[in-house]
């Protein structure tokens, strides 16, 4: 199937690129491939959205039945938590860039569904349920498109009765909008050495729930962020969020930075502890959980942005990594990157070019407001990572203030790969997490059921372990099996029976596609790949 541009990923970046391409040239044939069962099925974010990019893309969006327009942010709180109490941090002490004035809170999944409608109205071909599994390369090594995942393959590799081979989507340019830690993005970064001149990307794991709460407690537009407890007890850092959204619901979640050292840390259980904090529990009591999910988040910032263009394609959105960590926002920068890529690609096609590296996009982005914004906060994440939550936050705040006042020090702090930070189990004590109460806190498998995850069981395992012996000797023997704790979906288990070798069991049908295993495995021995189309979570309103 030939086209002008194929976009891998139907998130904010991919759909913004598709819309901009058709705005610039309605004759362009644009294809969007989305691995989820529908647009938005795999989208998970807080979310508080800065409308800056949306204003540029579709200026009339507030009057176009866009779901994000329903709840503007009205109230903004930031809490430093101790085990039993809190300290409110005055916003007057925070740099102006931290303000949520003019932002909106709602479901990013619903925003992408709406963006898909706008794209299709312009003639974009949107194909949900079709993961891009392989990149096609021309004789000169340039990317010439992608091949979608085969359908109907049994676990033993044989073809079932409903087998359908993947489709080759040939394109003049391929835009990778896979989100954080995409499989094809990883391959292209390695093939074209796109990270040669930047710091390594680092990540956090965001775990989220959606609750219907007591209407008397609901304050539409209220935004709460927290830091400190409970991660302060395990020398880990991150924080929580709780957003009062439409329909009497709150979106709440917890982000754990994946550079933690203690292999006994469980981000899922830290989230469950956080919900039991008196201030959080008071909001949730009397309510009902209706959805659950998890996703890795780019946290590297400006110094981790790789070369964005390569022969035949480019990285956009979280595939490249434009999250503003202190603001906990990345949708607006993702959308803008897609728009900038679209503008450069449309111009290249108009000039008769194809399959080359559109470096104009890379240059344009580095001169855009994305760069201006991310440079202001580039030392925030590494300052907290290096100096800890309390001292690091003070230093990060000082650095952001100085940069906002244009007196910033000429220093760019460095990153260390998350898996390299994990330490041997014998250097730490196991953490005893409290049992769930079934009202506020829950177990993992019950939680996964609220992600509405589904994979056909008779298909090849999409979680590839390169060396099972290394997994047994090192991941279990040296690090005490952190995969059983870092995974928020209970995918990994070590089955240990007397007189038998430990068995590494992979419950791939539970996978919510968060990619944490691909990031945090201490030996980089696990690779996440695309499962059969439509598999994974089916987030309704996340």
- Which residues have C-beta within 8 Å of that of residue 27, sequence separation ≥ 6? none
Strand partners, 147: 134, 168
- The pLDDT assigned to 402 comes to 81
User: Mapping DSSP to helix (H, G, I), strand (E, B) and coil, where does residue 505 land?
Assistant: strand
pLDDT score for 197 = 97
**pLDDT at residue 175, as a whole number:** 98
User: Quick check: 43 and 297 in contact, CB under 8 A?
Assistant: no
- DSSP E strands in 332-488: the ranges are 463-465
From the centroid of its chain, how far is CA 106?
17
pLDDT at 391: 83
Cα 174 from Cα 31, distance rounded (Å): 10
Pairing state of beta strands 143-148 and 168-176? antiparallel
Burial class (CB within 10 angstroms; exposed 0-12, middle 13-18, buried 19+) of 441: buried
Q: Which residues pair with 72 in a beta bridge?
A: 104
- The values of phi and psi at residue 125, to 5°, are -90, 110
pLDDT on residue 45: 93
Residue stretches of the chain with pLDDT short of 50: none
Report the C-alpha gap between 124 and 21 in whole angstroms: 9
DSSP 404-433: HTT---S-------HHHH---GGGSPPP-P
Provide the b/e sequence for 331-351 (b: ≥16 CB within 10 Å). Answer: bbbbbbbbbbbbbbbbebbee
Calculate Rg over the CA atoms of the chain.
22
pLDDT of residue 479: 98
| Contact call for residues 82 and 228 (beta carbons, < 8 A) | yes
Nearest by Cα to 520 from 380, 444, 417, 386:
417
**134-156 as b/e: b if 16+ CB within 10 A:** bbbeeeeebbbbbbbbbbbbeee
Helix or strand (DSSP H, E) at 288: strand 288-298
Is residue 232 within 8 Å of 222, Cβ to Cβ?
Answer: no
Please answer whether residues 44 and 18 qualify as being in contact, where contact means their C-beta atoms are separated by less than 8 angstroms. no
Sign of CA dihedral 490, 492, 498, 500: positive
What is residue 514's predicted lDDT score, i.e. its pLDDT? 98
CA–CA distances in Å: residue 260 to residues 180, 234, 524: 19, 9, 16
Calculate the alpha carbon distances from 73 to 76, 220, 224, 327, 372 in Å.
7, 8, 11, 14, 24
pLDDT (0 to 100) of residue 105? 97
Q: What is the Cα–Cα distance from 444 to 27, expressed in whole angstroms?
A: 48
Residue 517 to residue 527: CA distance in whole angstroms: 8
Residues facing 309 on adjacent strands? 314
């Amino acid at each position: 199937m030939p086209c002008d541009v194929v976009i891998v990923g139907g998130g904010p970046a991919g759909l913004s690129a598709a819309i901009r391409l058709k705005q610039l040239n309605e004759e362009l044939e644009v294809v969007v491939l989305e691995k989820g069962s529908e647009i938005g099925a795999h989208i998970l974010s807080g979310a508080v959205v800065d409308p800056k990019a949306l204003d540029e893309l579709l200026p009339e969006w507030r009057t176009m039945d866009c779901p994000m327009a329903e709840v503007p942010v009205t109230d903004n709180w930031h809490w430093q938590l101790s085990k039993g109490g809190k300290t409110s941090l005055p916003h007057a002490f925070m740099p102006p860039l931290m303000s949520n004035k003019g932002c909106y809170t709602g479901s990013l999944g619903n925003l992408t569904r709406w963006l898909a409608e706008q794209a299709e109205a312009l003639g974009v071909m949107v194909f949900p349920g079709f993961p891009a599994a392989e990149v096609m390369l021309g004789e000169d090594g340039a990317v010439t498109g992608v091949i979608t995942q085969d359908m109907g393959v049994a676990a033993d590799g044989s073809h079932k009765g409903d087998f359908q081979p993947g489709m080759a989507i040939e394109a003049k340019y391929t835009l990778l909008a896979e989100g954080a830690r995409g499989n094809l993005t990883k391959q292209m970064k390695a093939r074209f050495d796109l990270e040669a001149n930047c710091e390594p990307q680092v990540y956090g794991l965001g775990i989220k729930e959606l609750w219907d709460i007591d209407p008397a407690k609901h304050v539409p537009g209220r935004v709460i962020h927290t830091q400190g407890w409970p991660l302060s007890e395990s020398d880990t850092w991150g924080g929580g969020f709780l957003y009062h959204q439409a329909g009497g619901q709150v979106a709440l979640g917890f982000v754990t930075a994946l550079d933690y050292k203690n292999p006994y840390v469980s981000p899922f259980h830290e989230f469950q502890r956080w919900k039991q904090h008196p201030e959080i529990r008071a909001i949730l009591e009397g309510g009902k959980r209706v959805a659950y999910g998890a996703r890795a988040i780019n946290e590297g910032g400006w110094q981790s942005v790789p070369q964005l263009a390569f022969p035949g394609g480019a990285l956009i959105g979280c595939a490249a990594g434009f999250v503003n960590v202190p603001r906990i926002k990345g949708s607006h920068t993702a959308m803008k990157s897609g728009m900038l890529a679209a503008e450069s690609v449309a111009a290249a096609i108009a000039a008769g070019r194809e399959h080359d590296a559109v470096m104009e996009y890379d240059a344009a982005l580095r001169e855009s407001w994305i760069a201006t914004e991310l440079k202001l906060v580039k030392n925030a994440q590494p300052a907290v990572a290096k100096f800890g939550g309390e001292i690091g936050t003070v230093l990060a705040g000082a650095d952001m203030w100085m940069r906002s006042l244009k007196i910033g020090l000429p220093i760019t702090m460095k990153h260390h790969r998350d898996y390299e930070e994990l330490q041997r189990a014998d250097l730490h004590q196991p953490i005893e997490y409290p049992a769930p109460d079934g009202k506020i806190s829950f177990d993992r498998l019950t939680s996964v059921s609220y992600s509405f995850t589904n994979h056909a069981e008779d298909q090849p395992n999409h979680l590839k372990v390169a060396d099972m012996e290394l997994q047994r000797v090192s991941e279990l023997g040296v690090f005490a099996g952190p995969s059983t704790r870092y995974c928020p979906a209970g995918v990994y288990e070590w089955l240990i029976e007397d007189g038998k070798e430990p068995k590494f069991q992979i419950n791939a049908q539970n996978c919510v596609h968060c990619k944490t295993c691909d990031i945090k495995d201490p030996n980089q021995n696990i690779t996440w790949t695309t499962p059969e189309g439509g598999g994974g979570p089916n987030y309704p309103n996340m």
